[in-house]
Structure 1
Amino acid sequence: MLAVKKQKSDYVSIKTILLLAVPAMIENILQVFIGVVDTYFVGRLGAEAIAGVGVTNLTMNVYIAFFLALGIGTTTVVSRYIGAEDNEKANHAVKQSLIMALLIGLLFGSINLIFSRRILLLLGAEYGIIEYALPYFLTVAVPSVFLCVNMVLSSALRGAGDTKTPMKVAIVSNIINAILDYILIFGVFSFSGFGILGAGLATTTSRLISVFLLIKKINSNGTKINILIFEQWRIDFEMLTSITKISIPAAVERLIMRSGQLIYGGMIIKIGTEAYAAHNIAGTIETFSYLPGMGFGVAAATLVGQSLGKKKENEAQRLGLMSYLLSTGFMIVVGAIFYIFAPFLASLFTKDESVINQVVQVLRIIALFQPFLCITLVITSALQGAGDTKFPMYSSLIGIWGIRVLGVYILCMKLGYGLVGVWIAYAMDITVRGVILMIRYIKGRWKNVSIS
């Protein structure tokens, strides 16, 4: 009888996790697809246009680190209050997150507007590229507040257990972005189009529409959170402190990873053009292995937070581990595809045999370490869902700077292992980080983290 009950409980848990994770996976795929569509259309304008978009995205990636961190704080706090069936506090937390999103977005937007040329120069853009990139930069980076609000609203819905709405909004956003890209870049009928400026307008318009759709959904009947715009809003410093306490370590963790990538990316350039090309191709393909982990990470963060809100600490731990195991199954399949079809996948991006051989070697290294990569994605999200954002930050500092950057320097610069050495350092990083994170999770000290 007990065995039957346990089987039924496991079945319900698996179903719950999949209902949260699959829409989140699809949403992540759609986010990647937006970038692919933009690159496709802008690429038809020429190399300067691609460079202009690329240098703008370097800036946006820094801002997105802060936006994502605020989203993590929002998911954590909202899921905890939803689990405790305190919808009023959950609504209040969303409002405070939105106030912070508006302040951060407007601050970054103002900096972009005032120092646009200096920022582009600092990123290494030549004067010719700056003149070409400026229209896109001003129409995407300056109104970045819409992206920040978009990410906070999506995070709030995920914290409430709704991953379908962000997915549906991402579908609409993709369609609108693609249509507007074509119309505003190249023009239709007698309208001649705006070139790269049109690409920026398309991106920002699709983000603005996404914000409108998310607010409409949140304020509709049947949702667990509600943020009526016409109600009186007030700043609650205690709630803002709770969200910030969770968000800041998550932001620092992202910056640790970004800065480390810049440093060892510079080392890879020194190896040679072919190695750098192979590294970028392998990294692009590897992105698809992240998607299951990110999707199940959303499920883990939501369910861990809600279970802790219900005071069910053991259930929180069980659901986090179950999310990891399900995600590992998906990622092992992806790893097997990488290993078996590595030559074919590499040939989709280049016909250079030397580059293909290097990509194949890298993809087969990546394939073998998918379970550890899965830990760094899902278990990190589970810890963050519990409000334990400091430990993943410390583990990233050790892994990225103490192992990956140092490993790339020793294996590539000193011992001459080339690109294989880079990805061996990567494998060492995710293995050590994965083990550290799993030990932390199993020990369960995160169960006692307070969000207030």
Structure 2
Amino acid sequence: MLQQNTIAKSFKKNWGIETIMLLAIPAMIENILQVFIGVVDTYFVGKLGTEAIAGVGITNLTMNVYISFFLALGIGTTAIVSRYIGAKDHEKANHAVKQSLIMSIIIGLVFGGINLIFSKRLLLILGAEESVLEYALPYFICVAVPAVFICINMVLSSALRGAGDTKTPMKIAIVANVVNAVLDYILIFGIFNFNGFGILGAGLATTFSRVLSVVLLMIKINAKEAKINIYFSKQWKIDIIMLKSITKISIPAAVEKLIMRSGQLLYGGMIVKIGTGAYAAHNIAGTIETFSYLPGMGFGVAAATLVGQSLGGKKKDEAQSYGLMSYFLATGFMVIVGIIFYIFAPFLAGLFTEDEAVIGQVVQVLRLIALFQPFLCVTLVITSALQGAGDTRFPMYSSFIGIWGIRVLGVYILCMKLGFGLIGVWIAYVIDIIVRGVILMNRYLKGKWKEIKFS
């Protein structure tokens, strides 16, 4: 747990670099592990055939919508917990975690019920054919119905990060990865005299690893030495005022995620019309680009936590400096990733396909986005810093302008009307991140977010 005086001393010594790194690196590793768990699942399920891969993919499309709400609740939890921890009001921090946990259980159960009742209908709406439905339905029911465990997991992890503990979520993610990988093999294919469950086994492995994560997080958050403690507290009744505070922060964050998802869905449909090769190249480039996000996301966690804690301790200038230093450090990492993209673009593209035409398009895209990593970093780190301060409305507005006003419209004009092809898609993307980057940084430097109050 980060003590306020320790943060202050560290900041004076090295502009907060050491403190930021202690928070950011575990968060970066956790993000890498979250990506890796999906890679492992896809690898094992791929052995069952293309229909099985499609079944998992369709399930994930639905889950991504739900996860947007869960992530938003996590953002609200981090913002409020970090503020109370910074103010050294641990009782209110504990109370906020309990209220977030109550909300996560309600939201998770509601989404789980929807998934159970409308499972087949949802998959058919998403375009699942009978051959795919055979695989998708058991996996969907097994993974999507217990959605409550994903929501609880995200809230508890966010609470720990808000208190300055990014190592615990990282360690638990390591355990979850190992358990998931082992159970994937055993439950999908079988071992000794056990024949395995096929794709159902993949769903069981995923759900079990999530349940295990929740159990481990509960143990950690209830430990006697922990400064966040929800088990030994007496009050567990619903607090409408606290729930309103959490919701006020979380709803704009949820809307922002939905704006991004819906925009991606729409311009993704436009890319399909360009051609199969272009769509394949777009997905490959997007998959590779994901790795450039990881440093920004990790330093974003550090920025959100330290901005919130500094504001709680009434250290507004220190809060702003932590956000900026987090941005500069993340930019350094992301520029290095951009250089790797630019130099090794042909090699990276060749890992995913042997089609020379597709490789050529991927190389063009990677070298384009490599040049604009600092702007992408703003949309990740500075957005998180603002959200850590409780300013979730402005990132929502900027996302609406960027995704719908620039990216979707830009793809339509450059690709559908002017015939720029895939490179036009990514030119629109670059314009989006530049405009949003400038808008977000301007908002941050003006400092209006420092005056946001929580009830």
Matches within 5 A, 1:337-356: 337-356=340-359
Moved more, 437-446 or 117-126: 117-126
Which residue of 1 is the match for residue 147 of structure 2?
144
Distance of 1:220 and 1:109 partners within structure 2 = 29
3-state DSSP class of the match of 2:41? helix
Distance of 2:147 and 2:11 partners within structure 1 = 46
Q: How large is the RMSD of aligned CA atoms in angstroms?
A: 1.3
Which residue of 2 is the match for residue 393 of structure 1?
396
Matches within 5 A, 1:96-135: 96-135=99-138
Which residue of 2 is the match for residue 370 of structure 1?
373
Distance of 1:224 and 1:186 partners within structure 2 = 43
Moved more, 115-124 or 33-42: 115-124
- Which consecutive aligned stretches of 4+ in structure 1 deviate over 6 angstroms post-superposition? 5-8
Which residue of 1 is the match for residue 4 of structure 2?
none
1:285–1:10 Cα change, 3 Å: farther
Which residue of 1 is the match for residue 204 of structure 2?
201
3-state DSSP class of the match of 1:124? coil
Distance of 2:103 and 2:411 partners within structure 1 = 38
Q: Which amino acid aligns with 2:276?
A: T
Once the 2 structures are TM-superposed, how far is the Cα of residue 222 of structure 1 from its aligned partner? 2.3
3-state DSSP class of the match of 1:115? helix
Once the 2 structures are TM-superposed, how far is the Cα of residue 132 of structure 1 from its aligned partner? 1.9
Distance of 1:7 and 1:309 partners within structure 2 = 17
Once the 2 structures are TM-superposed, how far is the Cα of residue 230 of structure 1 from its aligned partner? 7.9
Matches within 5 A, 1:253-272: 253-272=256-275
1:8–1:171 Cα change, 3 Å: closer
Once the 2 structures are TM-superposed, how far is the Cα of residue 231 of structure 1 from its aligned partner? 3.9
Task: Describe the superposition over 1:352-394 as per-residue Cα deviations: whole angstroms up to 9, x where unpaired.
Answer: 1100110000001110010000000000000000000000000
Which residue of 1 is the match for residue 225 of structure 2?
222
Decide which of 58, 71, 79 is 2:74's aligned counterpart: 71
Which residue of 2 is the match for residue 53 of structure 1?
56
1:62–1:329 Cα change, 3 Å: same
Once the 2 structures are TM-superposed, how far is the Cα of residue 6 of structure 1 from its aligned partner? 10
Which residue of 2 is the match for residue 157 of structure 1?
160
Decide which of 60, 65, 68 is 1:62's aligned counterpart: 65
Q: Which amino acid aligns with 1:160?
A: A
Q: Which amino acid aligns with 1:49?
A: A
Percent identical: 79
Q: Which amino acid aligns with 2:266?
A: I
Q: Tell me if 1:274 matches 2:277.
A: yes
Distance of 2:186 and 2:454 partners within structure 1 = 47
Q: Gapped runs of 5+ residues in structure 2?
A: 1-7
Once the 2 structures are TM-superposed, how far is the Cα of residue 264 of structure 1 from its aligned partner? 0.4
Once the 2 structures are TM-superposed, how far is the Cα of residue 10 of structure 1 from its aligned partner? 5.0
1:225–1:183 Cα change, 3 Å: same
Task: Describe the superposition over 1:146-192 as per-residue Cα deviations: whole angstroms up to 9, x where unpaired.
Answer: 01000000000000000000000000000000000000000000000
3-state DSSP class of the match of 2:218? helix
Indicate if the aligned counterparts of 2:10 and 2:19 stay in contact, CA closer than 8 A: no
Indicate if the aligned counterparts of 2:410 and 2:425 stay in contact, CA closer than 8 A: yes
Which residue of 2 is the match for residue 252 of structure 1?
255
Which residue of 2 is the match for residue 428 of structure 1?
431
Which residue of 2 is the match for residue 11 of structure 1?
14
Once the 2 structures are TM-superposed, how far is the Cα of residue 127 of structure 1 from its aligned partner? 2.4
Distance of 2:232 and 2:271 partners within structure 1 = 50
Indicate if the aligned counterparts of 2:10 and 2:16 stay in contact, CA closer than 8 A: no
Distance of 2:70 and 2:87 partners within structure 1 = 26
Indicate if the aligned counterparts of 2:406 and 2:431 stay in contact, CA closer than 8 A: yes
Q: Which amino acid aligns with 2:446?
A: K
Which residue of 1 is the match for residue 405 of structure 2?
402
Once the 2 structures are TM-superposed, how far is the Cα of residue 128 of structure 1 from its aligned partner? 2.5
1:145–1:8 Cα change, 3 Å: closer
3-state DSSP class of the match of 1:341? helix
Once the 2 structures are TM-superposed, how far is the Cα of residue 221 of structure 1 from its aligned partner? 2.8
Distance of 2:52 and 2:277 partners within structure 1 = 24
Q: Which amino acid aligns with 2:111?
A: F
1:249–1:409 Cα change, 3 Å: same
Distance of 2:373 and 2:211 partners within structure 1 = 36
Task: Describe the superposition over 1:303-351 as per-residue Cα deviations: whole angstroms up to 9, x where unpaired.
Answer: 0000000011110000000000000000000000000111111111111
Distance of 1:73 and 1:285 partners within structure 2 = 30
3-state DSSP class of the match of 1:161? coil
Q: Tell me if 1:414 matches 2:417.
A: yes
Once the 2 structures are TM-superposed, how far is the Cα of residue 7 of structure 1 from its aligned partner? 10
Q: Tell me if 1:82 matches 2:73.
A: no
Decide which of 186, 189, 203 is 2:189's aligned counterpart: 186
Distance of 2:72 and 2:13 partners within structure 1 = 31
Report how many residues are paired: 448
1:29–1:409 Cα change, 3 Å: same
3-state DSSP class of the match of 1:192? coil
Moved more, 6-15 or 77-86: 6-15
Indicate if the aligned counterparts of 2:10 and 2:18 stay in contact, CA closer than 8 A: no
Task: Describe the superposition over 1:240-275 as per-residue Cα deviations: whole angstroms up to 9, x where unpaired.
Answer: 000000000000000000000000000000001111
Which residue of 2 is the match for residue 95 of structure 1?
98
3-state DSSP class of the match of 1:269? helix
Moved more, 375-384 or 219-228: 219-228
Matches within 5 A, 1:310-325: 310-325=313-328
1:79–1:7 Cα change, 3 Å: closer
3-state DSSP class of the match of 2:16? helix
Moved more, 132-141 or 163-172: 132-141
Q: Tell me if 1:43 matches 2:43.
A: no
Distance of 1:311 and 1:272 partners within structure 2 = 55
1:329–1:33 Cα change, 3 Å: same
